[in-house]
Amino acid sequence: MKTTQYLRIFLLAILSFFISISALNKAIAAELLLPQQAIAEASDKLKEKMQNPEFTKDFAQITDFVESAIYPHVDFNRISALVLGKYWRDATPEERSQFNNEFRNLLVRTYSRAFVEFKDWSVRFLPLKMESDASKVIVKTEILQPGIQPIAVDYRMVLIKEKWKAYDILIEGVSLVTNYRTTFNNEIRNSGSLSAVIETLKTRNAEALSKNSLHNS
């Protein structure tokens, strides 16, 4: 899958994480299992926000909202550890904290693009079977768009203190964590250190926020 195509579908997947049952009635929503409900929890609030054209034009406002909406439902620490792999194990506590913050900012900016780039789509939950004592689960969904085949999007989720949180997204079998791991491993090897990559991330995030733009990466 090409990088641009993956990013496009990834943005759809992120957005579907929060609007996935906006078209379902309450009776159907009540039938969702707890991990599915975690994915759908912020749907109504996000749908209401997206109907406000002034909101979708304000990058800072979008970023603040997306972070507040996503943060309770995503295990960013686990994602950072999986993305860095061996470099996470060797990192200092300060480097771990800094990478986690900057990587989270990068993801939030990526999520925010989905507000303005995609329309006219919906999501379908696939049947989910899980044990009553399960602590990990994969929630399978399909993104539906007119004129194209459904896109398989799976969410790896973990139970933390009685709350289900996502720690990876698979798009047609391609893992978000694996994609970013390859990217950051290459950057660390090329730059010579994790701290150098953190500084680059910090600069990119600061520049994007200062320009108030959805199009900086």
Tokens matching residue 136: 């990990």
Average pLDDT over residues 125-132: 82
Higher pLDDT pick, 175 / 40: 175
pLDDT (average), residues 180-188: 94
When pLDDT is cut at 50, 70 and 90, the band that residue 194 belongs to is very high
Return the higher-pLDDT residue of 13 and 199. Answer: 199
Q: Which residue has the higher pLDDT, 119 or 185?
A: 185
Q: What phi and psi values does residue 51 have, to the nearest 5 degrees?
A: -80, -5
pLDDT of residue 48: 66
Give the number of C-alpha atoms closer than 13 A to the C-alpha of residue 175, restricted to the C-beta side.
14
Average pLDDT (167-193) is 92
Chain-wide mean pLDDT for the chain?
A: 76
Contacting residues for 61 by C-beta, under 8 A, at least 6 apart = 55
pLDDT digits (tens, 9 = 90+) for 38-90: 555 545 556 566 667 777 677 677 777 777 777 777 898 999 999 999 999 99
Residue 98: name the closest of 201, 206, 168, 187 by CA. 201
User: Which tokens belong to 176?
Assistant: 């978000």
Angle at 209 between CA 208 and CA 214, to 5 degrees: 60
Residue 13 clears pLDDT 50, i.e. is over it:
yes
3-class SS of residue 147:
coil
Instruction: Count how many residues are written for the chain.
Output: 217
Model pLDDT, residue 117: 60
pLDDT at 109 over 80: no
Q: What is the pLDDT of residue 33?
A: 60
As a whole number, mean pLDDT of residues 112-129 equals: 69
184 strand-pairing partners = none
Domains in the chain, CATH or no CATH each:
3-211 (3.10.450.710)
| Percent share of the chain, pLDDT over 70 | 64
Q: Are 208 and 109 in contact, with CB atoms under 8 Å apart?
A: yes
With CA atoms as reference, report the closest residue to 103 among 44, 157, 176, 39: 176
**% residues pLDDT > 90 (the chain):** 27
Q: pLDDT at residue 216 above 50? A: no
pLDDT, residue 200, reads: 95
Task: Please tell me which residue, 22 or 106, carries the higher pLDDT value.
Answer: 106
pLDDT at 94: 97
